[in-house]
Amino acid sequence: MNFLVIGSAGFIGSVLCKHLVSLGHKVKGLDNFSTGFESLTKYGSHFQGDFTNEDDLDKIIKSNDPFDCVFHLGGFSQVGESVNFPEKYYKNNVAGTITLLSKITEYNIPYLIFSSSAAVYGNPNQLLIDENHDLNPINPYGRSKLMIERIIEDYCSSFKLKAVALRYFNAAGADSECELGESHEPETHLIPLLLKSALNPKEPVKIYGKDYRTKDGTCIRDFIHVEDLAKAHYLAFDLLLNKDLNKFISINLGSGSGYSIIDVINTANKILNDDEFSVSTKFSKRRHGDPGMLVANIALATKLMNWVPEKSLREIIKHAWAWEKAKFFLKD
């Protein structure tokens, strides 16, 4: 198969490229490197360009054999930034995806896998969130993802296109061979921030809120290993290719287990203790737009794709720690 990966120089996109190549497929990546890194483009061939730009899309699509599927992982993804700069998210994420969809349909690419988010649910009203949960995003990032899902569904109704929206919970970890991992600038994700704080104790991590209605007062999140996510993307394509489903479907991707921020800190410290490190944290007030609890019900993914995440929170942190150490000591 011949695949186009949008956002191929990002954390999840780079690991997805590696997985697709390992399965024997041809992979072309598109990334503008605004948040991605050229050092992560180790698998497949890559083109510097923007999915919001028609000319860039024409170039990459025309220069290749017909693509069987587009994996769309492009777009901005910081909740806090989206609250402060909503226009950036609606212009890039929403309007940009419309540009991409126009080219997908123009060139008759039959399948699309879209990187959505658990942020479409907003504040949940049940412990395990399934795909039938109310959709009520509470920040522009989540709203942009929901808008895109609905736009894709409309395109599927009007054109010969089938698509899956994968609603990620908290992607984390690193490639188990320590080739690829998180490298955000600035870093906003909990686990890499905690690990960076161990390497630089003068910069403690802010823990936002300890007054949530949870067992220890901190937020509860569902963390999923990036390699498990990558496998799910290919299985989503296989689902569209081989099963007679509706033309559009949304599927949760998480571990199905919730961990408080304190749980994550304690697990990290147990792993770091072997290297005589520990994380450095300080508590701050709640951050606007953060729900207290987000945990996935992954029954649909298991039923339709036979997908079950394999890696534990401990493995997530262990692989992320190996990646952070390698970056830190290589830098020195």
Residue 289 has pLDDT above 70, yes or no: no
Which range, of 57-66, 141-150, 300-309, 323-332, averages the lowest pLDDT? Answer: 323-332
Return the pLDDT at 309.
Answer: 96
The answer to whether residues 114 and 104 touch, using CB atoms and an 8 Å cutoff, is no
Mean pLDDT of the chain: 92
Return the pLDDT at 330.
Answer: 61
Of 242, 250, 233, 254, residue with least CA distance to 308 = 254
Per-residue pLDDT of 273-284, as tens digits, reads: 988 899 999 999
**Is the torsion defined by CA of 191, 227, 11, 120 positive or negative?**
negative
- Please tell me the distance from the alpha carbon of residue 73 to that of residue 115, in angstroms, as a whole number: 5
Q: For residues 176-202, give the mean pLDDT.
A: 87
Residue 200 has pLDDT above 80, yes or no: yes
Residue 42 has pLDDT above 80, yes or no: yes
Per-residue pLDDT of 225-250, as tens digits, reads: 999 999 999 999 999 998 877 799 99
Per-residue pLDDT of 44-72, as tens digits, reads: 999 999 999 999 999 999 988 899 999 99
The residues that are catalytic are 141
Q: Which fold has domain 2-172+223-253?
A: Rossmann fold (3.40.50)
pLDDT band at 267 (very low <50, low <70, confident <90, very high): very high
Return the pLDDT at 202.
Answer: 81
The answer to whether residues 152 and 100 touch, using CB atoms and an 8 Å cutoff, is no
Three-state secondary structure of the chain:
CEEEEECCCCHHHHHHHHHHHHCCCEEEEEECCCCCCHHHCCCCEEEECCCCCHHHHHHHHHCCCCCCEEEECCCCCCHHHHHHCHHHHHHHHHHHHHHHHHHHHHCCCCEEEEEEEHHHHCCCCCCCECCCCCCCCCCHHHHHHHHHHHHHHHHHHHCCCEEEEEEECEEECECCCCCCECCCCCCCCHHHHHHHHHHCCCCCEEEECCCCCCCCCCCEECEEEHHHHHHHHHHHHHHHHHCCCCCEEEEEECCCCCEEHHHHHHHHHHHHHHHCCCCCEEEECCCCCCCCEECECCHHHHHHHCCCCCCCHHHHHHHHHHHHHHHHHHHC
Spatial CB neighbours of 115, under 8 Å, sequence gap ≥ 6: 7, 12, 71, 72, 73, 74, 75, 166, 168
Q: Does domain 190-221+256-331 have CATH number 3.90.25.10?
A: yes
Amino acid at site 217: G
Task: List the structure tokens of 161.
Answer: 């296109």
Return the pLDDT at 186.
Answer: 73
Per-residue pLDDT of 73-132, as tens digits, reads: 999 888 878 889 999 999 999 999 999 999 999 999 999 999 999 999 988 888 899 999
Return the pLDDT at 329.
Answer: 63
- Please tell me the distance from the alpha carbon of residue 181 to that of residue 176, in angstroms, as a whole number: 9
Taking the domains of the chain in order of start, what are their residue ranges?
Answer: 2-172+223-253, 190-221+256-331
